[in-house]
Amino acid sequence: MGNIVLITGGAGFIGSHLADQLLEQGHHVRILDCLTAQVHGEARDRPAYLSPSVELIRGDIRDPAVVNRAIAGVHGVYHLAASVGVGQSMYQIADYTSVNNLGTAVLMEALSAHPVERLVVASSMSIYGEGLYRDADGQQVPGRRRSRAQLAQAQWELHDDAGRPLEPIATHEDKLPDLSSVYALSKFDQERLCLLVGEAYGIPTTALRFFNVYGPRQALSNPYTGVLAIFASRLLNGNQPAIFEDGQQRRDFVNVHDVARACRLAYDSTAAAGQVFNIGSGHAYSIAEIAERIGRAMEMEVSPEITGRYRVGDIRHCFADIGRATEVLGFTPQVAIEDGLVELADWLPTAAAVDHTQEATQELRRRGLTI
């Protein structure tokens, strides 16, 4: 029998795939998860995809008694528990701050009393805000926030002070954070709190900044999940994928199998302690291209709706430089986007998909969070 490993939030999308890989390695996997209705449905049952070999503790990451029971006897922890969604975080401010910030504090206080051999925390590319750019002189510069006035005029791209266009380039880990949403702020807090307490108590800790993760087991009925899952849910319900701005904003899409493997590599690497790593594919795709690709994979010819609207907290371009993860962790993505989308499309007919995108968009609009 291998080590006992705890995954907080492990009954969800990424955690369940990580659990499968850890079980294959011979570990005992324990999961702490509250099975929130937004992800798991109103019944909040144990997911059918979760291996029967997994020990599941149903409880709240903010409950010290539950957390102490969950960490009892474990050798290492993957901290994935979090409320997820940029848009929703901008109006469920107390909830996101409570689950993500307070929940992490409760976990770290428990680990300060009972240190483990290893801790890996899930961070997010959202902490970067805008990615890195190259200016007209060839210099690397951080992206700056776009003003509401600029966005109201549909001036989507970034320019320097002289009005010259900036060219997006891959973003590395040394870019300073620019926290443009409550979700981003909470993920940065999770990352720094784990690294800080880990160093203080001798717990080797690594933070992984996930980019846009996709694959089977995403919560298709959650309108604040990954954009690929939202597009798939729209298509399954006979609706057009709706895209903000002009659809040319660029992101990095990384397959969940690669992300789970990166988690394992980080856990096993002594050199990774105290560091942060981008976990992405290293490729950039426009959102419009991704909508068309998932449509083709599902064999559905539905053109996306380009709304020309803007959502507060969104950024224009951000995609990953994964050089550090490759050098230190030995991480290289193995799932090509074409293959990953075929796997996702094959899984979709087995999943429940209630399209709540319109209600979510209306809620953001009602609160003045879209332009």
Active site (catalytic) residues: 183
Burial track 6-23 (b if 16+ CB lie within 10 A, e otherwise): bbbbbbbbbbbbbbbebb
- Of residues 211, 214, 209, the one with CA closest to residue 190: 209
Asked if residues 130 and 144 have their Cβ atoms less than 8 Å apart, the reply is: yes
- Give residue 262's identity as a one-letter amino acid code: A
Chain centroid offset of residue 199 CA: 24
Distance in Å from the first CA to the final CA of the chain: 55
| Cα angle for residues 312, 247, 141 (degrees, 5° grid) | 65
Residue type at position 337: I
HSE value, Cβ hemisphere, 13 Å, CA-based, for 186: 27
Q: What is the dihedral of CA 353, 359, 362, 367, to 10 degrees?
A: -110
Across the chain, the runs of DSSP E, i.e. the strands, are 4-8, 28-33, 55-58, 76-79, 118-124, 132-134, 140-142, 167-169, 205-210, 212-214, 242-243, 250-251, 253-255, 276-279, 285-286, 305-306, 317-318
Q: Is 314 helix (H, G, I), strand (E, B) or coil?
A: coil
Cβ contact 186:89 at 8 Å: yes
CB 159 within 8 A of CB 130: no
Q: How far apart are CA 66 and CA 174, in angstroms?
A: 36
